[in-house]
């Protein structure tokens, strides 16, 4: 059942989301939240997901500061009031 969650957006994605720092969406899972974000801001999905529909390796997603890679990935369930943080992963040295 969808619940209201907040998605915090990094500066690099805000230009695709009408410059919002965060948005509220109704979603039951992390994957649902990404789809809801895409429905509101067309084109954001391609920045977050690869061609197979998996979260890109260059994108980190956290639910309440827990990395979803150590939870259930995009199937991670969401509860009312949860906060998703999308963070671009940087490499370099």
Q: Where along the chain do its domains lie?
A: 3-88
The pLDDT tens digits along the chain (93 residues) read 677 999 999 999 999 999 999 999 999 999 999 999 999 999 899 999 999 999 999 999 999 999 999 999 999 999 999 999 999 876 555
pTM metric for this prediction: 0.89
What kind of fold does domain 3-88 have according to CATH? Ubiquitin-like (UB roll) (3.10.20)
**Residue 75: per-residue pLDDT:** 96
**Residue 91: per-residue pLDDT:** 52
- Please enumerate in sequence order all residues whose Cβ is within 8 A of that of 25, keeping only pairs 6 or more positions apart, or say none: 4, 5, 7, 33, 36, 37, 40
């Amino acid at each position: 059942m969808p619940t209201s969650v907040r998605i915090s957006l990094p500066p690099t994605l805000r230009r695709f989301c009408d410059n919002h720092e965060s948005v509220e969406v109704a979603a039951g899972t992390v994957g649902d939240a990404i789809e809801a974000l895409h429905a509101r801001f067309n084109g954001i999905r391609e920045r977050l997901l690869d061609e197979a529909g998996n979260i890109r390796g260059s994108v980190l997603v956290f639910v309440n500061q827990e990395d979803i890679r150590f939870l259930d990935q995009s199937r991670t369930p969401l509860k009312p009031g949860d906060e998703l943080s999308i963070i671009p992963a940087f490499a370099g040295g």
